Amino acid sequence: MSSNASSSASVDDDLELKALRYNAQKQQRHSSDQYTRETSQQDDDGYHSDEDNFSRGSEEGERALLHNNSHENGAWQPPSSRPTATIWEQIKDIVLEAAPTLLLTTLSLTFTGKLLDTVTQWRAMQQVDQLIMIIPVILNLKGNLEMNLSARLGTAAHVGTLDDPVSRRSIILGNLSLLQAQAAVVSFIAAGVAFVLGLIIPRLPPETSSDDTTRRAAVRWLVARKPAPQVPPGTRISGISEYLLVCATSMTAACLSGVVLGSFMCFLVVLCRVWGRNPDNIAPAIASCLGDLVTLIFIGLVSMALINFLHTPIPLILGCIVIAFAIFCGVYMRRNKHVRDLIFQGWAPLFGAMIISSATGIILNLFVSRYEGFALMAVVISGLPGGVGSILVSRLSTSLHAAALSTSSRPPAGTVEASPRLVMITLLLVTLPVEVVFLAILHSMGWLRLPWTFIGLSVVFFCCAVSFSLVIARLLTNFLWKRDKDPDMYALPIHSALMDLVGQLLLVLCFEIVSLLGLSVATKEGR
């Protein structure tokens, strides 16, 4: 009987323990839901969803937007257990990390434009028209791929999946394989687009070109990463050998660029993680600018090497090797659990961005040769706001992913909650000194001779471009997240293409207003 009493007491204890656990979990869910409702009413910047998980995740993501200290002692922490930091400390981190990155991005874009002017004078570019025309298309597509890579790795670093050596190796190799497969596909399609454009777009006769030739006008246009419908004057060469050369050049350059820059971006994100820096403030902008520069260098080098084998099987063999390598990467991706679900994601934004950029280039071709310094100013008013927007997209996406994995919704006592608007204002203020420094460099080196009225007005339009970029970045990221689309795969290509369009349209408007004021901003051929 004593045994039966003991057994009964044990059962009662188990039932009581289960009841206590159930009540504790119920109370925690109730407290969490109550806090979510309270913060939802107070935060007029929040966005809503029909699903409780998304609502809590999105609000937590916005509250975590300024926080960089998501790791301590090598382990990821939910927002409720992170060390507190004042708003000014968080703003200081953004300024110290984003400002040098954006300045480096702007200088790199300028150097890319100057390098492009040199590369397009090489024998391969002048002999095969489509090699020039492929540059802006492939730069746009490759830049988007690298930015997507940096955003995905930034998210992985924040949620802690890069902390384990085995998992880190698998994630990095999987993402590099995905980058190689995507690069092979987009470069092949870009070669086809360039070849078709070379066949259907008429070229101007040599006698119609002035000192500033059509080729150089196209080069200035290409600085802003826009497809060029004009090609250099001379004898048209278009055949199967030229098409194979263009395909082999684009695919090989994209492959080599993916290996070099992709490995560098992985190293940069891991280094930021080790040093306690936020890769979202650094990696996307660097990926955008270095992607253009590195890809352009490889396009020039590979084209110069292959032009000597134009009518030989060498380009075909090289293209087949790249395709075989891309297939190998695809097979590896299928076996990698970290990226197998990403194989068929993100293609529509890539090609949608290519279409937007192509349409933008055709429209703005009417204005490039009319205004002095248009290409150099386009670097500022398109490239810099696009880089700032990419930082915000990456930060938002990381915060949303981290919040979705969080098991707690209530922040610790004394935590200072920061509005996402403060992040946007901070990024806007960071870009202004960068633009001033850039304009001062251009003016001191004699590259830009424009009236001060135009400079002042361009600053106003620049602020409009940055504000538009930040607003679109936030709305687009939230829109995609609500519809179960990963912003790391979908947001950046669309945002980049839209900023190319909006930024240069604002620049055209700035030139037109200054012209109406009676100031001289037109080039000789535009007068």
pLDDT tens column, 163-192: 888 889 999 999 999 999 988 988 888 888
More confident residue, 195 or 253: 253
For 332-398, the DSSP string reads HHHH-TTTGGGTTSSHHHHHHHHHHHHHHHHHHHHHHTTBTTHHHHHIIIIIHHHHHHHHHHHHHHH
Please state which of the ranges 352-361, 387-396, 488-497 shows the lowest mean pLDDT: 352-361
Q: Which residue has the higher pLDDT, 258 or 358?
A: 258
Query: Binning pLDDT at 50, 70 and 90, where does residue 465 land?
Result: very high
Please, which pLDDT band fits residue 315 given cuts at 50, 70 and 90? Answer: very high
Identify residue 125 by its one-letter amino acid code: M
Two structure tokens written together for 106:
């702007």
What is the per-residue pLDDT for 414? 41
What is the C-alpha separation between 392 and 397, in angstroms, rounded? 8
> What pLDDT, on the 0 to 100 scale, is given for residue 302?
93
Does residue 16 carry a pLDDT above 50?
no
Per mean pLDDT, which range of 198-212, 244-258, 278-292, 363-377 is the poorest?
A: 198-212
pLDDT tier for residue 75 given thresholds of 50, 70 and 90: very low
Q: Which of 201-205, 301-305, 502-506 has the highest mean pLDDT?
A: 301-305
What's the pLDDT tens digit per position in 360-412? 666 555 665 677 667 677 767 777 888 889 888 888 888 888 888 764 444 44
Whole-structure pTM value = 0.71
Closest CA to 455 of 438, 473, 472: 438
Mean pLDDT of the residues in the chain: 73
Q: Which residues pair with 242 in a beta bridge?
A: none
Q: Is 276's pLDDT higher than 70?
A: yes
pLDDT for res 305: 92
Ordered DSSP codes for 59-127: HHHHHTTT----EETTEE--GGGSPP--HHHHHHHHHHHHHHHHHHHHHHHHHHHHHHHHHTTSHHHHH
pLDDT bracket for residue 516 (50, 70, 90): confident
**Per-residue pLDDT tens digits for 45-69:** 443 444 444 444 444 444 434 444 4
Q: How does DSSP classify residue 240?
A: H
Asked if 418 and 88 count as a contact pair (C-beta separation under 8 A), the reply is: no
Residue 38 structure tokens: 């309270």
Is 224 in contact with 162 (CB distance < 8 Å)?
A: no
By percentage, how much of the chain surpasses pLDDT 90? 14
| 462 or 59, greater pLDDT | 462
Q: How far apart are the first and last CA of the chain?
A: 110
pLDDT higher at 96 or 62: 96
pLDDT value for 366:
60
| CA pair distance 431, 449, nearest whole angstrom | 22
The 10s digit of each residue's pLDDT in 118-145 is: 787 788 887 887 787 778 778 777 888 8
Q: Is 50 exceeded by the pLDDT of residue 229?
A: no
Average pLDDT of the segment spanning 233-244: 67
Q: Report residue 42 as tokens.
A: 């107070």
Confidence band (pLDDT; 50, 70, 90) for 8?
very low
**What gap in Å lies between CA 412 and CA 82, rounded to an integer?**
8
Q: What is the pLDDT of residue 85?
A: 55
> Which pLDDT belongs to residue 73?
41
d(CA 130, CA 402): 44
Q: What is the pLDDT of residue 359?
A: 66
| Mean pLDDT along residues 110-120 | 74
Confidence of residue 316 (pLDDT cuts 50, 70, 90): very high
pLDDT tens digit sequence for 411-456: 444 444 456 788 888 888 988 888 888 888 777 877 777 778 888 8
What is the pLDDT, as a whole number, of residue 235?
Answer: 46
